[in-house]
Structure 1
């Protein structure tokens, strides 16, 4: 080890606990020494403009902030801040004189449990990603909102680090004319997008979406700790990076999954987050923030090149280009379409719409979730409603379907395809959303979900027994629907896709059939 402090700390006798072994992890801003029971993090005395750790007092302050802030999401990992006495060559944890350095002590989690490592081994599951989406949505709902008179989240404050990114990257590209040209185009797109989104950024500030976020949500900062998905290592060194739009947090995570070649997991996480948070408006900002986050990662790759050997520099340069190309992909206008499900309660509509999330860049809106949200209920809460009462009156249903139409057109306007998961058993309900989509000039599909009636009844009973599903439809609701549902018209059958939900092949082939429809 070339660092005298790190070398001196690699002695078991210094610690008040058993040491299994020593392992050093180095980033551009810190050293982390792994000992087995604990990990010790030391901040490098560096100044990158967006952070400044050059003074001992600053390092102490940011160590304390790191522990306090990370205990919000990882209370079982972050232990304490420890002062170091003596000298770099002969450090001691025993008090004596003035401290010359400070460390963050963390409980060390098992090796190989970072979600980035799970992903590399092909072991990252949809269940873990769904947990992550929920954790982040719940976290955003609970954290402090920025004061209305603060600079945090104002349009100019949002744009400042984005502009700084480009200015910091440009001199590091040397005379690479192609990379410089790409950077110029990306900066132009960011500036044009900023002007277009300026009113929305102002609105987000007014609506309280600027909060004390994590600020660095990617798979390398998420682990399994005691078998629980746990986010750690939030931004503590720059409050303007942490006090940001909640959209910027989820955008970093989605970008990271996409950068790792996991679009399915990215789409699942995004849909889970939106379903819980209800913040569909954030989709308007998602590409803007994803491109920013991609360029942050690209910049870090260039920073890490300083001091690397030739092979390391080449690898980091490839990483820069990967992230820059990803940022460029976010500037493209995607193809969009809208779909609704159609079928009896319990007929497998959510199963069918889940297949679309698996295979397409699409946002799902569920009527069962949105109905409850309209009436102030959590998705898994019981409304204690009887048939045709409380939140299931005809008036409440009309309000729900009006809301679904509005959400559908908004999401399409944000540049995303959308599937609305609802029964749509009334022709007027189907016509309402069809007309709204047609007005936008977007293709429209009806996914008719059918199954044997005995299977539907069994699925409803099983769903009720398992609990936890937003749907409250029971067998009485099913019987009423059988009497009152209105069949598809001849015109509607022209843009219908039949899904036999008790036929695995019919469900599994749905995405391929939709692709064929639009080829």
Structure 2
């Protein structure tokens, strides 16, 4: 039976145990379809063969449903209820029915409260220290009890580790054949693979020693914040990988790196560091820190690959496919961010060029420190960041004296940040410092160029130039939206354009111009192009 017919047939509440026409919420991943009905979830495996996973036959899907329940009950005993047949009789499809032909199988699960999921708690800033400690204790105990030795250790040897990593790049390249921005994305993949390979080779001896020290365990395999729930009775971790033993048997550093990468992706880098540190100390495994940049990159590429698979599924709505494509870019950028060193990035351009939007994405992907001239200006005037201070060109808080004070403060903020900032050892935060300002003239840029030379850090000057039509359109939209961080309207745009000096004085290799082709693309594309030119770690 085709998966589309199964999804349609199970779209009514009557198909499920005790169903009385209850609403059914359907959620698709690249390998499963989940049906949310009341306090239950029914998970159907798609009939796909992705190489690393084979659900293509009915027998395979039954087996892996049973495996999911068996394995899942170790970390989430109250969640997994059992495996149910999906039969088709005179009344149509029925889950758990006794009449008709068996069409498929599904896993029946207890529905967990969304508001208690770790990713939701993190995004609300509501995760408590006690909950984090309970999670770390659970993981340390789980890994201590988990199987190791013959049949497990083989999955942690260097050849297998790199094979898993390389597979992600190979499969992503194949999926990018029809991507409209294929050239940039392939360049990013090639660079990230090169950097990952360098990291791997430097740590080959450590990987071999960890096999001998029994750091390879039969773990969870998919340890991200969306699979962790904090219930009143304790922490449960569900969705343990059942479809491939080599993804479940792994170095515990790889297991923790998945969670660390996911917290980075959620913007919780300090929480990520605290979690990694707490596990390393309680497990007596301080060497795992050295492996985190490599394994975080590997995990980011796993998620990038999953997003690309979803972006190519015809049964997924077009809007969701595009969202998955953007997720791929963000994970790709996140992976690149784990390999960056210290550096100063100047984002310059006219109002409406997208500097602040691109700076925001760069900060999310790399953990960079960003200093906004507009924010500094408002602070110096004693105003809230979003409070309007709109005035005629060159007047109010935008006068000559105020401009001098803003750029002086911006320069000193960058100086202090570069003096203090080093790439974090676990790869959770790079060493980039970003200055977001108009930088309308060579005179405004020169102090920052000298700063980079004096502090012996690489400089990248990025000129965002989407074209006049795009600038006018964006500024009009911003004016219609009302007060924000920037007060520049059409009058200011036109006046600044008369005297703006493009940064042509920057040395070869330190200037990047992002022209009109980027105007119609999401800021993630511009950020990815910048990361391709950003300085890698000093060790390279």
TM score, norm. by length of structure 1 = 0.61
User: Is residue 115–residue 124 contact of structure 1 (8 Å, CA) maintained in 2?
Assistant: yes
Q: Which residue of 1 aligns with 2:172?
A: 169
> Which residue of 141, 147, 151 maps to 2:144?
141
User: Is residue 166–residue 187 contact of structure 1 (8 Å, CA) maintained in 2?
Assistant: yes
Residue 86 (structure 1) shift: 2.7
* Separation of aligned partners in 2, 1:35 and 1:140: 34
Residues 483-515 of structure 1: CA deviation (Å, up to 9, x unaligned): xxxxxxxxxxxxxxxxxxxxxxxxxxxxxxxxx
The 3-state SS of whatever aligns with 2:82 is strand
Q: Which residue of 2 aligns with 1:119?
A: 122
Residue 328 (structure 1) shift: 0.9
* Separation of aligned partners in 2, 1:34 and 1:171: 33
Q: Which residue of 2 aligns with 1:299?
A: 305
Cα 1:160–1:277 change in 2 (3 A) is same
Q: Which residue of 2 aligns with 1:73?
A: 75
* Separation of aligned partners in 2, 1:105 and 1:133: 28
Residues 140-160 of structure 1: CA deviation (Å, up to 9, x unaligned): 111111416863212111111
**What pairs up with 1:152-301 in 2 under 5 angstroms?**
152-173=155-176, 174=179, 176-226=182-232, 228-301=234-307
Residue 239 (structure 1) shift: 0.5
* Separation of aligned partners in 1, 2:79 and 2:9: 25
Cα 1:144–1:4 change in 2 (3 A) is same
Residue 269 (structure 1) shift: 1.0
Residue 277 (structure 1) shift: 0.5
User: Is residue 133–residue 269 contact of structure 1 (8 Å, CA) maintained in 2?
Assistant: yes
* Separation of aligned partners in 2, 1:182 and 1:13: 48
> Which residue of 44, 47, 50 maps to 1:45?
47
* Separation of aligned partners in 2, 1:275 and 1:88: 60
Q: Which residue of 2 aligns with 1:82?
A: 84
Query: Structure 1 stretch 238-247 or stretch 227-236: which is displaced more?
Result: 227-236
Cα 1:310–1:62 change in 2 (3 A) is closer
Cα 1:416–1:300 change in 2 (3 A) is closer
> Which residue of 320, 325, 348 maps to 1:317?
325
User: Aligned-residue CA RMSD in angstroms?
Assistant: 2.9
The 3-state SS of whatever aligns with 1:217 is coil
The 3-state SS of whatever aligns with 2:156 is coil
User: Is residue 146–residue 243 contact of structure 1 (8 Å, CA) maintained in 2?
Assistant: no
User: Is residue 222–residue 229 contact of structure 1 (8 Å, CA) maintained in 2?
Assistant: yes
User: Is residue 4–residue 89 contact of structure 1 (8 Å, CA) maintained in 2?
Assistant: no
Cα 1:278–1:149 change in 2 (3 A) is closer
Q: Which residue of 2 aligns with 1:25?
A: 27
User: Is residue 152–residue 249 contact of structure 2 (8 Å, CA) maintained in 1?
Assistant: no
Cα 1:156–1:110 change in 2 (3 A) is same
Residue 83 (structure 1) shift: 1.8
* Separation of aligned partners in 2, 1:89 and 1:235: 34
TM score, norm. by length of structure 2 = 0.59
**What pairs up with 1:490-501 in 2 under 5 angstroms?**
none
* Separation of aligned partners in 2, 1:156 and 1:332: 25
Q: Which residue of 2 aligns with 1:131?
A: 134
Cα 1:89–1:274 change in 2 (3 A) is farther
**What pairs up with 1:288-437 in 2 under 5 angstroms?**
288-306=294-312, 307=314, 308-333=316-341, 415=425
Residue 217 (structure 1) shift: 0.6
Residue 10 (structure 1) shift: 3.9
Q: Which residue of 1 aligns with 2:7?
A: 6
The 3-state SS of whatever aligns with 1:3 is helix
Residue 129 (structure 1) shift: 2.4
* Separation of aligned partners in 2, 1:219 and 1:147: 30
Q: Which residue of 1 aligns with 2:359?
A: none
Alignment gaps of 5+ in structure 1? 336-359, 362-411, 418-519
Residue 321 (structure 1) shift: 1.8
User: Is residue 132–residue 269 contact of structure 1 (8 Å, CA) maintained in 2?
Assistant: no
The 3-state SS of whatever aligns with 1:230 is strand
* Separation of aligned partners in 1, 2:122 and 2:290: 28
Residue 178 (structure 1) shift: 2.0
Alignment gaps of 5+ in structure 2? 344-366, 369-421, 428-540
User: Is residue 11–residue 26 contact of structure 2 (8 Å, CA) maintained in 1?
Assistant: no
Aligned length: 343
User: Is residue 221–residue 241 contact of structure 2 (8 Å, CA) maintained in 1?
Assistant: yes
The 3-state SS of whatever aligns with 2:41 is strand
Residues 187-245 of structure 1: CA deviation (Å, up to 9, x unaligned): 11122222222121111111111111000011111113345321100111011000111
* Separation of aligned partners in 2, 1:36 and 1:157: 43
Cα 1:85–1:208 change in 2 (3 A) is same
Q: Which residue of 2 aligns with 1:426?
A: none
Does residue 1:108 correspond to 2:100, yes or no? no
User: Is residue 265–residue 334 contact of structure 2 (8 Å, CA) maintained in 1?
Assistant: yes
